[in-house]
Amino acid sequence: MKVVKIISTKQIVINAGFDEGIKEGEELEIIDKISNEPVVDPETGEDLGYLNISKGKVRVSRVFPKMSIAEAPYETYSILDQLGNIKMPSTTIQSDLNVDPDEITGGLPSPSKDPIRVGDTVIKINE
């Protein structure tokens, strides 16, 4: 799967949908390779694959036959007093995805070191 469109700092579109078994609520991870050289088992010489690093995690919010919209996760915060008691009701905030600002089709971008780009690989987290 690949990122095919960046809607905003909170939403992306991937090139997989119902036809590929994607379901609403599924967690996905956008990954980047650490290097272009595969890890090789020194004893067997077997190519073990590439090391990946995470660019971000998203949850599928809407599924179409051949594509899906995925969104940044929501995080809940609580303000605690010195004894650890909740002082105010908790707040849920949706995180921004670390996207390439030049590829956003709407919304206000924020610059980042390793941005999510169209063409990035996407993998399922909870299979």
DSSP 38-64: PEE-TTT--EEE--EEEEEEEEEEEE-
Instruction: Write the single-letter amino acid at 75.
Output: E
- Do 16 and 26 contact (CB within 8 A), yes or no? no
Residue 109 has pLDDT above 60, yes or no: no
Instruction: Write the single-letter amino acid at 59.
Output: R
pLDDT recorded at residue 126: 64
pLDDT recorded at residue 87: 67
Residue 95 is given by DSSP the state P
Which residues, in sequence order, are bridge partners of residue 75?
93
Report the percentage of the chain scoring pLDDT > 70. 79
Residue 106 has pLDDT above 60, yes or no: no
- Do 8 and 15 contact (CB within 8 A), yes or no? no
Q: How many CA atoms lie within 13 A of 112 on its CB side?
A: 18
Residue 112 has pLDDT above 60, yes or no: no
Give the pLDDT confidence of 81-104 residue by residue, as tens digits: 666 676 666 677 778 888 888 887
Please, what is the Cα angle at 31 between 94 and 39, to 5 degrees? Answer: 150
Give the pLDDT confidence of 44-74 residue by residue, as tens digits: 999 998 777 888 899 999 999 999 999 998 8
Report the predicted TM-score, pTM, of the whole model to 2 decimal places. 0.66
